[in-house]
């Protein structure tokens, strides 16, 4: 059953009024794959547009906070914490970006985590595209979710 379509096939926001509040946590991940040359050029995490990592972290936080403004059927929720981490892997020429979101409420925070990691990835791409437009953003996914009726861990 698709929860955002009513019996008349009309899009609808899910009614969460009868759900119980609980701590909701979700963690998402995305990968930025670079050529070896590009990775070596940006390994200091600086570009002509400024310091890459902190800019992407701030952008990811903003992305998570603004999720309900750009995903039409997401609830506007109170977010208690957002944690963005960006790690480099020099052996594989990539950045691994994660976004964890925590809330206490009646609906999950998976979309906020996915949006946060996506915006962080896009910000790095934007800052580095002058060096290489062939950067690959890949494997954006939920790693784990807890709270509410179901828990999930992506192995």
Give CA–CA dist 78/67, Å, rounded: 12
Give CA–CA dist 151/85, Å, rounded: 22
- Residue of 6, 15, 83, 126 with catalytic role: 126
Q: In Å, what is the CA distance from 68 to each residue of 30, 74, 78, 112, 129?
A: 20, 5, 11, 8, 28
**Helical ranges in the chain per DSSP H:** 36-42, 52-65, 67-70, 110-128
Q: Is 126 in the active site? A: yes
Of residues 41, 58, 61, 155, the one with CA closest to residue 113: 61
* Residues with a known catalytic role: 126
């Amino acid at each position: 059953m698709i929860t955002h379509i009513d019996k008349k096939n009309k899009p609808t926001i899910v009614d969460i009024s009868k759900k119980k509040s609980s701590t909701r946590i979700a963690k998402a991940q995305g990968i930025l794959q670079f050529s070896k040359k590009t990775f070596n050029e940006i390994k200091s995490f600086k570009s002509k547009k400024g310091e890459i990592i902190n800019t992407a972290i701030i952008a990811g936080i903003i992305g998570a906070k603004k999720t309900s403004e750009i995903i039409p059927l997401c609830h506007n929720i109170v977010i208690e914490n957002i944690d963005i981490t960006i790690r480099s892997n020099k052996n594989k020429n990539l950045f691994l970006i994660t976004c964890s979101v925590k809330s206490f409420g009646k609906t999950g925070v998976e979309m906020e985590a996915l949006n946060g990691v996506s915006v962080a990835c896009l910000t790095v791409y934007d800052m580095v595209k002058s060096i290489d437009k062939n950067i690959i953003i890949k494997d954006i996914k939920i790693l784990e979710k807890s709270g509410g009726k179901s828990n999930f861990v992506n192995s």
